[in-house]
Structure 1
Amino acid sequence: MPLRIEDTFRIALAAADRPLAGMWVCSGSPLIAELCAGSGLDWLLVDAEHSPNGLESILAQLQAVNGYPVQVMVRPPVNDTVLIKQYLDLGVQNLLIPMVNSVAEAESAVAATRYPPEGVRGVGSALARAARWNRVPDYLARAADTISVTVQIESTAAVDSVADILKVDGVDAIFVGPSDLAASMGLLGQQEHPEVRAAVEHCLTAAKTARKPAGVNAFNPDTARHYLDNGASFILVGADVALLARGSEALAAQYIKAGDIQKDSGGTPASY
């Protein structure tokens, strides 16, 4: 299937008449990715920063969800030119770049997605799924149109620079990460702290002023609704691994009394 401009997150956000709701895909499993792709959510984030995802598993997940009516964004573990090149060659169209703290780092992320002279992306389209091995007409000339770049605001330095980061040509959106932001503010684990929420709201306001979309991570439904009411254009509201963890715990709580779980000699629940 050829790459299409309409498959970019940038186009989806511009066309939407409501905020887009999505979830994390962290398991590394193509089966789970496909299951989530058919959920009815607007978008998925395949994460490689805090999840067991390498190039091969990302490729398999892209293939598994291909054809489903869902946007797919992929987060590399670091803002690295070589790694971004590899992701793009795999056919990743929507990137979430973590820990972008300055204009220079935002510019570096964008440059990694552009061929020279606009950027520094290495040319290997004949070898790459991105161009369907040179089956996409004029891929080199139009590649930038098939890619969206969202940068992550998750430190006090990034919050201080957010207005300037939003001005960087090629930055299509920002995404605020309250967990790392809270840690950088000396409030580790306190994503709901009033100062953290105020910083997130500052970023949402800056994005509205710049007329660019802003998203945020919020698993707490009340917090998610608060940020949506304050201008978030897209949001992540859950994760595959978290849903499985909480769901399996609920089953255990329903059917097994506390202290009655049988364990084998290794200290793990016995097989049934």
Structure 2
Amino acid sequence: MSLKARLEADETLCTAWSGVPDALTVEIVARQGFDAVTLDMQHGGHNEDSVLRSIVPIQAVNKPALVRIPVGRFDMASRALDFGAEAVIAPMVNSVADARAFAAAMKYPPLGERSWGPTYALPRHGKGTQADWLKESNQRTLAFAMVETRAALAALDGILETPGIDGIFVGPSDFSIAWSNGAKVDSTLEDMMETIASIAERTRKAGKHAAIYVIDPAISGRVVKMGYRLLAMGSEQALIGLGTKTLLASVKESIG
């Protein structure tokens, strides 16, 4: 079942967050219990080549691949889809103009301006003809616009109304910096939680999907109650750190 179909069924999904630009590492992450894997090109080390190669091991275990592109690199949104990504996350979408440019790169005409060329994506998808691909792609792929600034919050209704935008992805760390006027970075800042909840409510009311990055797992239940259904988490550093801590704690407890 596709990422879109599962979200439309109101499932709560967890995507791992990969920043190590190595297909072998991504293969290991993809085989863990996550529902999907996101390849991060903004703050992570992924690049065009690593995205092209890393989507293969994700698809090999029948999971959707998502890609977060660098700020303003809407051309990379089209390339990520051509490589086989099911969804693209665009950071710092701070205006309706940003949303329109992102949507244009994500969707084929007449909805957008995406250029034809699924050289890798179509055979990796493994089914259907070129005609099927053209007919289905605009509906099957998802464009998530990140809301992480006060400007984005002010433009939220316009972003949600933009044809081709399928969901909102909240970046709580950047949002906390904006919310506190640069005083702190705190993904669980209590002062902003009412607003974080309102973003999910407005997104779902518009018929779009609500996603958020979860740094503290303890807050997962709270954001799901707000309406978020795609939760991103678990960078390689976090996974290795937690696994090492758990392993060594068990060893030391056994030794006494």
* 1:55 corresponds to 2:51: no
Q: Counterparts of 1:255 and 1:40 in 2: how far apart (Å)? A: 24
Would you say the 8 A contact 1:102–1:165 is kept in 2? Answer: yes
CA distance 1:197–1:64, shift in 2 (3 Å): same
Structure 2 residue 202 is the aligned partner of structure 1 residue 206: yes
Alignment-derived partner of residue 158 in structure 1: 152
Within the alignment, does 1:218 sit opposite 2:214 as a pair?
yes
Shift of 1:252: 6.9
* Structure with the greater alpha carbon radius of gyration: 1
- The root-mean-square deviation of aligned C-alpha atoms, in Å, is 2.5
In 2, Cα distance between equivalents of 1:168 and 1:211: 12
More helix by share: 2
Q: CA deviation at 1:203?
A: 0.5
Shift of 1:22: 2.1
- One-letter amino acid matched to 1:129: Y
Matched residues, number: 247
Q: Where do 5+ consecutive residues of structure 2 fail to align?
A: none
Structure 1 segments (4+ residues) deviating >4 Å? 249-256
Q: Which whole-Å deviations, capped at 9, do the CAs of 1:164-208 have from their partners, x for residues lacking one?
A: 211222211111110111112224312222222222112012113
Matched-pair identity in %: 26
- In 2, the alpha carbon distance for the partners of 1:51 and 1:161 equals 27
Kept in 2: contact 1:10–1:172 (CA 8 A): no
Amino acid at match of 1:206: R
Name 1:268's counterpart in structure 2: none
* 1:183 maps to which of 159, 177, 181: 177
Partner in structure 2 of residue 263 of structure 1? none
Q: Sort the Cα spacing of 1:229 and 1:192 in 2 relative to 1 into closer, same or farther, 3 A.
A: same
Counterpart contact for 1:179–1:188, Cα < 8 Å: no
Residue 88 of structure 1 deviates from its aligned partner by 2.2
Of 106, 131, 143, the residue aligned with 2:122 is 131
Counterpart Cα distance in 2 of 1:249 and 1:188: 27
Identify which of 65, 68, 81 aligns with 2:61.
68
**2:31, 2:61 within 8 Å by CA — same for their partners in 1?**
yes
Match of 1:111 among 92, 96, 104: 104
Q: Deviations over 1:9-54 (max 9, x none)?
A: 32220134x3112221111222222222222222221111111111
Indicate the residue corresponding to 1:97 in structure 2. Answer: 90
Q: Which runs of 5+ in 1 are unaligned?
A: 1-5, 257-272
CA distance in structure 2 between the aligned counterparts of 1:71 and 1:49, rounded to whole angstroms: 19
CA contact (8 A) 1:178 1:196 kept: no
